[in-house]
Amino acid sequence: MSSDTTLDDDDTFKILIATDIHLGYLEKDAIRGNDSFTTLEEILKCAKTNQVDFILLGGDLFHENKPSRRCLHSCITMLRRYCMGDKPINFNILSDQTVNFNTTQFPWVNYQDENLNISIPVFSIHGNHDDPTGAEGLCALDLISASGLVNHFGHSHSVEKIEISPILMQKGITKLALFGLGSIPDERLYRMFVNNQVTMLRPKEDQDEWFNLFTIHQNRSKHGPTNYIPEQFLDDFIDLVVWGHEHECLIAPTRNEQQLFYVTQPGSSVATSLSPGEAIKKHVGLLRVKGRKMNMQKIPLKTVRQFFIQDVVLADYQDIFTPETPQVTKKMEDLCYAKVTEMLEQAERERLGCPLTPEKPLIRLRVDYSGGFEPFNTSRFSQKFVDRVANLKDVIHFLRHREQREDNKDEVNVDYGKLLKTTAVEGLRVEDLVKQYFEATEQNVQLSLLTEHGMGKAIQEFVDKDEKDAIEELITYQLEKTQLHLQARGVTTEQDIDLEIQRFRDSKKNTTEEENEIKEAINRAKAHRLERGDEPVDIGDLAMESDEDMAPLAAPTRGRGRGARGRGSRGRGRGATASEPKPAGRSRSQKSSTATQSRSIMQGEGVSFQAPSQRSTRPGANNSYAEEMTIDDSDEDIPAMKTTRPPPRPASSSSSFTKFSSQSQSQSTKGVAFDDSDDDEDNPFKGPSRSRR
């Protein structure tokens, strides 16, 4: 098979994958204001050049929940310029579009709208920055969707139970099931997964023929007991997970050995925090799917501003200076100046031959001044690099590591300042700080009545929402519950009371009962505040900016740039979907081939639902079938190839779905083979057991 037909035949989906574009980030900054807009235009140009079938966005298209008029105008302008045209769409949608696109009054894919001329459809879920809010549950993405430029999917209206219904697509013989789940508070979604309240629907017929692609926007790395989504929570029938929200670019798919699917993390297209994860070169992915095989090609982004970061530990330079050295501050500045100059020279070398890269790079030098050193004036130091760096105000960042904890033998006279030294706390919540504190303390100052989680929640309410009675009410409520428990158990001796209190406390850890007690105590505190007539002060609502806008105080291992604002009550109700979709068709003759298969796969009398107790096994459980995948690690662009496309093959018009609970277990396995040979590099779908056609 020739390379042209291999890469661009009538059975191959070509999908451009990107996440976390953060359009409008620092748009008022004189230097960096246009960065996000320039990179979005590059992504759309890349999609048009490679003649992709559609673009898949993994959330956070916008940086702000309420984008500015300039931001919305620029987004609409670019989508109209690059995604509208006469190029025919060569795949069909078979599923019930009233279910897939349930946030709009036009519940059908935009390229089937007779009033629009779409050449590249864009499918997107929402992220935590541009998530739905208000009584109507609308977000900025819904505005773009109503204008017909983006297909917003993956919006769950229920906060109690989630059913993820896929968009079923077919191109030639290739069947693609596109699942999506927009951003939900991690703690809530974690609890829903644990309680088997997340269900993924699958077509009941021909399950082994569908390539299952899932897009999610949640914490992937663990930031707390329940403040992330473990990969093993996801169903094992999935073939590839596109993970948004994490900003570190890990676009080469990695295999989850437990669930036996692959995960790709495209990362952000603009650096929204000065952390190491953001310094990794930014890419988007060109995914090709043919049958049950896939190939991921990395495409480097050339318009992204360069970012370099280094760490300096002053204690490692004792041969040059110590805290007692005369003019130690000047010597510290000279060392930092040399390090910053070194990074600027590296940026200049890498920028040669790439005119699209912005001239001024982002520079961050993190200086550990532990050991008695004193920080110098960073503003005065940064003035040495005017017109050379893009982030003049935060080139230098001072931090100190936590010093060793001392033993506390005196239970009464405890020096709490020594138990938890001033340290870097970037990205940490109050709840996390409380947990860290009690992990660092001696046994004699541990909690005996409250749990660390409960105390953390109460302090968080006090700090974030000024609930002055939250801690007192939690203690009072827990005291009442413990007293009733001891009375019911008939415990009388002091030793037995201590043991029973400890047992009672441990039995409630990480349970629904603990959550309910915390909510009850917080509700009591709110009631007392209302009785006094105090006005609530919700600091979480006042500070809507994300943590990436703050100067990092720690040495995080990854750059995420996740939003810090609250994503609490959204006022959503269980929306009713229309019973009949709008007949989808195109008035233009060149696109009429896609309108022939508008019958819904979820409609009709033949639709049935089944909820098995266990997930069905993957087709690759035996050695006779091997799902294949290749990864193109090169940063070279593969030129787009034009081919003639015959009309799509007719697709099946009726099917049914099977429900799969996200927590059901399976002993199935998947065989996945990589074709890493140097031969036939142009054929990403060549498998070890398949001969060329």
Helix (H, G, I), strand (E, B) or coil at 209: helix
DSSP lists the bridge partners of residue 123 as 56, 151
DSSP 312-341: EEGGGGTTT--TTSTTHHHHHHHHHHHHHH
Q: How far apart are the first and last CA of the chain?
A: 6
Q: Are 624 and 637 in contact (CB under 8 A)?
A: no
- Say which residues have a Cβ less than 8 Å from residue 246's Cβ, sequence separation at least 6: 219, 220, 221, 265, 267, 277, 558, 560
> Catalytic one among 129, 152, 155, 247?
129
* Spatial contact of 84 and 570, defined as CB atoms under 8 Å apart: no
Return the structure tokens found at 170.
């077919």
How far from 262 is each of 236, 620, 668, 671, CA to CA, in Å? Answer: 10, 14, 15, 12
* Rounded-to-integer distance, Cα 457 and Cα 567, Å: 16
Q: Between the CA of residue 203 and those of 182, 346, 401, what are the distances in Å?
A: 21, 53, 53
Q: How many CA atoms lie within 13 A of 188 on its CB side?
A: 14
Spatial distance between the Cα atoms of 70 and 73, rounded to a whole number of angstroms? 5
The tokens 């099917």 sit on which residue?
Answer: 655
Tokens of 504: 């009672």
Residue type, 105: Q
Listed residue (293, 237, 241) closest to 621, CA to CA = 237
Q: Smallest Cα–Cα separation from 297: which of 685, 693, 690, 689?
A: 685
Task: Return all residues near 8 (Cβ < 8 A) that are at least 6 apart.
Answer: 14, 51, 641, 642, 643
What tokens were used for 439? Answer: 């992990």
152 is catalytic: no
**Residue 458: CA count within 13 A, CB half-sphere:** 25
Helix (H, G, I), strand (E, B) or coil at 367: strand
Length of the chain: 693
Residue 366 CA to residue 310 CA, distance in Å, equals 6
- Amino acid letter, residue 632: D
CA distance 204 to 237: 13
Q: Which residues contact 582 (CB under 8 A, 6 or more apart)?
A: 106, 107, 108
Distance, in Å, from the CA atom of 584 to the CA atom of 599, rounded to the nearest integer, reads 9
Instruction: List, as one string, the DSSP characters of 111-132.
Output: GG-TT--BSS-EEE---SSS--
Tell me the pairing of strands 12-18 and 283-290: antiparallel
Q: Which residues are catalytic?
A: 129
